[in-house]
Structure 1
Amino acid sequence: MGPLSLPKQDRSRATRQRLLEAAVACLAERGWGGSTVSVVAERAGVSRGAAQHHFRTREELFTAAVEYVAEQRSAAVRGLLPQVQLITGPARTHMAVGQLVDLCTGPLFRAALHLWVAASDDDALRTPVTELEARVGREVHRMAVELLGADERRPGVRETVQGFLDMCRGLGLAHLLTDDTARRERVVRHWTAVLSNLL
């Protein structure tokens, strides 16, 4: 069944998803300056008019795109929970640390970073991006606590988890400029040991 034989609502949903995925890819590859609605529409294989039917402004498109992929990544990490919960001790911590580091070193992080920089100089972007990041940050923190099996009722545990997540973002920044894979693997091993002892 070709795309035109799908019901109109399904075609509209598929077009919207293609636009969101194309917007994230453009942000990650071209940055904010090189990511226009026209470029995204072309990459998604739709007209500029179709893109503007779904998203009235450039800011609306890119904020929605980062939120969309953040939700996809969150769902992927949530999907790991049953698997991780079957493991105990350092092996569980190592798997959780690796997954959380991956969350901060992939295309989503790169796209989000470009959006953060743009929002720092653009009043139209600042409020939606700040609100989005607050939501995503709370969700990632909650997932980290679950994946690590951490008990935040214990003094210092919340701060330790948050410090670890801040370190993950730092690794993501380093990975933007160079292939930081070898160092990242050493850091994952080190944080596995630290978190195993502290949590």
Structure 2
Amino acid sequence: MSGLTLSAMHDARDAEDTRLLAAGEIGLLVESYYGVIIDRCRAKARGNEEAALEIAGAVAERLLSELKRGRAYRVPFRVVVHKVIDWKAAEHYRRRDVAIVELDEDHVDGSAADPFAKFESDYDLDLLFEGLSPRERQVMELRWREGLAIEQVAQRLEMTRNAVDQALHRALVRLREKVCA
């Protein structure tokens, strides 16, 4: 497909989006993107249909609520749709990870806990953290072993929050590649 054709498609889509917004047809506008939303959410959920539908619902809900409040965007609506999908997918998995940790901590009877569980957990993390840079490893250790908040990690390592976020992101990308390889 040539760039001109793609550009013409984007221009046509943007014109239709503008027309629907001007007419106050926000439901129709969001509905016109629902196929794209579902497909992208399925890709983000990696085959988990329930998660994909939950994320897609959250995306549609956010788009509709922002449009109903009269939110205007400086970029084409199609770009907004893709960004909201990214944000809602990330939020979904962050929430899920926190819920799993809380469930494990709330439902484990300390007297019946496996005495080797902490050792095995630490050993597994040591193996996972191999290959990370020293700074990434420090950040991951404080975040996942000690359970510090990002702000606390930044304070302890005398870093900015942004630097901690970047180190966490790089470390998680490396870990994802390692685990999925």
**Band the TM-score falls in, shorter-chain normalisation:** under 0.3
TM-score by length of 1: 0.25
If you compute each CA radius of gyration, which structure gives the higher value, 1 or 2? 2
TM-score (norm 2): 0.27
Kindly indicate whether structure 1 or structure 2 has the higher relative contact order, using CA contacts under 8 Å at least 6 residues apart: 1
